[in-house]
Amino acid sequence: MIEKEFIINNETGLHARPAAKFTKVASLYKSEIRIIKGNKTGNGKSLLSILALGIFGGVKFTVKIVGPDEVEAMYDLTRLIESNFKED
CATH number of the domain that residue 10 is part of: 3.30.1340.10
Total of domains in the chain: 1
The model carries a pTM of: 0.93
**What domain range is 81 assigned to?**
2-86
| Nearest by Cα to 27 from 76, 85, 60 | 76
Q: Is 69 a known active-site residue?
A: no
Catalytic-role residue among 15, 21, 37, 64: 15
In angstroms, the CA 80 to CA 86 distance is: 7
pLDDT band at residue 87 using 50, 70 and 90 as cut-offs: low
In sequence order, which residues have a C-beta less than 8 Å from that of residue 71 and are 6 or more positions away?
A: 2
pLDDT band at residue 17 using 50, 70 and 90 as cut-offs: very high
